[in-house]
Amino acid sequence: MTVPLPCLSSTASVASDKGHGVKITNLEAIPIFDGWRNLLVVLVETDEGIAGIGESGLSGRELAVMGAIDHFRPLLLGQDASRIEHLWQVLFRGGFFPAGPVLASAISAIDIALWDIRGKALGLPLYQLLGGLVRERVVCYPHSQAEGFDTPALVDRCLQAVEEGWKFVRFHLPQQAEVLEPAESVRMGLRQLEAVRAVLGEEVEICFDVHTRLDLSDAIRLCRESEPLRPFFMEDPLRTENLGLYRQLRAHTAAPLAAGEQFSSKWQFRELVEGDLIDYARVDLCIVGGITEARKLAGWCETHGIRLAPHNPLGPVATAACLHLDLATSNFGVQEQPRRPGTSLTDVFPVQVEWDDGYLLPPTRPGLGIEFDREAARRRPFQRWEPPHLRRRDGAFTNW
């Protein structure tokens, strides 16, 4: 069945505003295989028939997140769904150990679902609860990657994206099959960046994703030599275990830097933000702790002149959540959007957000503004999926 967007009576809305709220009656984690990997959505149901939906990140580790959901269920049943900040604090801190990426990914999905419930209870799109529109549309970029070192195919993919209306293209540091040798990948990455820029001209923006694949010396070379090609940003040029290395990288390049998609709280962003070491915060709403945590990060970034570039390689729920934050956040830069909404999983999500000429448009329906068919989701059961594993030519493991 399709989870409805109910038309509530004024009495129900007033009751929620008086603080009585709607009570959480069920929490369900539903993995969905999309044909390549799994999405993990979380459905939060209430005693007033209002259901909210959220989505978790941490692709490839969904079973761990589902375990976290099981731990959280008894903490949430019977609670007032409108106490979003309070419930966030209980879940993040309630086990004594602060939440890491597994727990934070579960919290993210629950938090998004609670915001969805709140919007539906009030009959308002979620962005209205975040302060209203600061822009009328949200620019986004697709994935335009070609396989390996095939530069002509990459150029064709980028040209196709521009012809479809996208204002940005994005591709990542190339590798050959399962082998990534930093020196040759840097050389080829720069050649590909130069080839795409030569064909697309100056009007189309290029996002180049290093995907945490390089050590400091290789990242410095790549970023410094990319400067004349004017990338919109160089994303995740370094591994994130030692953020102090970004201070050295920043000192050696003027290329705009973006990072943060692996972070599971605002605290992990602290060194990069307070040190002014990035230009774009790659916040992932489905890992960082949901809309509640992302809003706090957005305000903090604004004081440092850092813009948001939400990481979104996931499904329609994540897209909608990012869109509402983008619409209500002044220091927004660009949103990741691997494909056009409405072109995949339309059986599970019969109503998705709208895309037009490279932009996502404000939803008019309450909450997130999408619909979810639980029965259709169950017809796409979980399948084990493992992210690609890369190695150096000598057999040593390296980041994907």
DSSP string, 54-121: EEE--TT-HHHHHHHHHHHHHHHTTSBTT-HHHHHHHHHHTTSSPP-HHHHHHHHHHHHHHHHHHHHH
pLDDT for the residue 10: 30
| Whether the predicted pLDDT of 11 surpasses 60 | no
**Three-class DSSP category at 323:** helix
pLDDT for the residue 15: 35
Q: How far apart are CA 272 and CA 15, in angstroms?
A: 43
pLDDT for the residue 17: 40
Q: Which of 61, 109, 66 is nearest to 87 (CA)?
A: 109
| Whether the predicted pLDDT of 358 surpasses 90 | yes
pLDDT for the residue 20: 54
Q: Which of 329, 325, 326, 314 is nearest to 59 (CA)?
A: 314
Q: How many CB atoms lie within 10 A of CB 247?
A: 13
pLDDT tens figures, 320-339: 999 999 999 999 999 999 99
pLDDT tens figures, 245-260: 999 999 999 999 999 9
Which residue intervals of the chain bear CATH 3.30.390.10? 2-125
Helices and strands (DSSP H and E) totals, the chain? 13, 17
Tell me the average pLDDT across 186-198: 98
How many degrees, rounded to 5, is the angle at CA 193 between CA 188 and CA 195?
Answer: 95
Phi then psi dihedrals of residue 148, to 5 deg:
55, -135
Confidence of residue 21 (pLDDT cuts 50, 70, 90): confident
Q: Which helix (H) or strand (E) holds 264?
A: none
Residues 320 and 354: beta-carbon distance below 8 Å: no
pLDDT tens figures, 225-237: 999 999 999 999 9
DSSP string over 350-378? SS---EETTEE----SSBT---EEHHHHH
Which residue intervals of the chain bear CATH 3.20.20.120? 128-367
Tell me the average pLDDT across 294-310: 98
For the chain, strand residue ranges (E) read 2-3, 24-33, 38-46, 51-56, 138-141, 168-172, 205-209, 233-235, 257-259, 280-281, 307-308, 335-336, 355-356, 359-360, 372-373, 390-391, 397-398
pLDDT tens figures, 52-100: 999 999 999 999 999 999 999 999 999 999 999 999 999 999 999 999 9
> In the structure encoding, which two tokens stand for residue 271, read together?
């060194």
Where do we find the tokens 């970034």? 301
**CATH number of the 2-125 domain:** 3.30.390.10
Q: How far apart are CA 134 and CA 143, in angstroms?
A: 26
CATH 3.40.50.300 applies to domain 128-367: no
Tell me the average pLDDT across 120-142: 98
Q: How far apart are CA 300 and CA 102, in angstroms?
A: 24
User: What are the residue numbers of the active site?
Assistant: 211, 311
